[in-house]
């Protein structure tokens, strides 16, 4: 049995980026540990979601616990930093924010968990956090340093296939998801200008994990983050076929991999 530790920035990130890989590992008898840097205090609050007097972070931790159960997570820890908000917002500068955390101090917190779990594999994000979010960039920095401190040799950077993403947007813009799909307008709007820096080029990706058998659980886990994910959002508005095309493969870059490495499993050859 191997131990997979997935390090994420906020509640709901785990379902989007590594939900399928975690469910797959759990079903194959491996130990799955989820570590979240923040409680997601500064996410956008959907109207009418919170009860009177309820704080967003309280709801998000409940949602996270429910999603973790669906994905088969054995242990979940929150490092306790404050959500840094989106890039360029005042929350970036708060001294308690994850973005402002000392990298070695934060890495020490994560390294303690890695050592306690004798982690075989750690997932973080790519060096620009997938799309430039401050907390996601910090997950990369802290996670890489924590692996060094704990001696966790196998580290994967969760990313998106930027080339495939453009192809999917172009198909959606042509109405292939159906002319009335809410995905169509979003795709056309995104393609109307320069695309943000999402993910990594296909050539940089070393590891593509087919999570098709676990897509229902991935989608259900995502839907449980109801404070953040509207049922009509792009994520959940996709048809089952469209969801499979968008999320049926989870992409990673294995740090230090030899040139030309092509893998289909994070835990290959372990346990």
**Ranges in the chain, pLDDT < 70:** 165-197, 234, 271
Determine the pLDDT at residue 177.
Answer: 56
Determine the pLDDT at residue 44.
Answer: 85
pLDDT tens digits for range 107-119: 999 999 999 999 9
Burial level of 164, CB count in 10 A (0-12/13-18/19+)?
Answer: middle
State what percent of residues in the chain have pLDDT above 90: 64
> Range(s) for CATH 3.40.50.10320 in the chain?
3-161+199-254
- CA distances (Å), 96 to each of 10, 43, 91, 170, 227, in order? 15, 16, 9, 41, 23
How is domain 3-161+199-254 classified at the CATH fold level? Answer: Rossmann fold (3.40.50)
- What is the maximum span of the chain, computed from C-alpha positions, in angstroms? 55
Determine the pLDDT at residue 169.
Answer: 62
> pTM score > 0.85 for this model?
yes
Determine the pLDDT at residue 183.
Answer: 60
Instruction: Compute the distance between CA of residue 219 and CA of residue 226 in angstroms, rounded to an integer.
Output: 12
Determine the pLDDT at residue 132.
Answer: 82
């Amino acid at each position: 049995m191997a131990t997979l530790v997935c390090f994420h920035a906020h509640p709901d990130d785990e379902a989007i980026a590594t939900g399928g890989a975690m469910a797959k590992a759990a079903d194959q008898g491996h130990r799955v540990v989820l570590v979240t840097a923040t409680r997601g205090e500064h996410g956008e609050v959907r109207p009418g979601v919170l009860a009177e007097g309820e704080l967003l972070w309280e709801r998000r931790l409940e949602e996270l616990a429910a999603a973790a159960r669906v994905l088969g997570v054995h242990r979940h820890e929150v490092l306790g930093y404050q959500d840094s908000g989106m890039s360029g917002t005042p929350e970036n500068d708060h001294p308690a924010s994850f973005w402002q955390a000392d990298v070695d101090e934060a890495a020490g917190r994560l390294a303690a968990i890695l050592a306690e779990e004798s982690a075989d594999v750690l997932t973080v994000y790519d060096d620009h956090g997938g799309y430039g979010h401050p907390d996601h960039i910090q997950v990369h920095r802290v996670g890489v340093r924590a692996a060094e401190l704990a001696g966790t040799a196998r580290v994967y950077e969760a990313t998106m296939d930027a080339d495939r993403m453009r192809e999917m947007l172009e198909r959606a813009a042509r109405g292939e998801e159906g002319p009335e799909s809410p995905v169509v307008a979003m795709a056309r709007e995104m393609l109307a200008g320069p695309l943000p820096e999402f993910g990594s080029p296909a050539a940089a990706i070393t590891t593509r994990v087919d999570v098709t058998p676990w897509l229902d659980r991935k989608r259900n886990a995502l839907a449980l983050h109801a404070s953040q994910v509207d049922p009509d959002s792009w994520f959940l508005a996709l048809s089952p076929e469209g969801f499979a095309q968008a999320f049926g493969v989870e992409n990673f870059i294995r740090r230090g991999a030899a040139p030309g490495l092509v893998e289909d499993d994070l835990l290959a050859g372990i346990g």
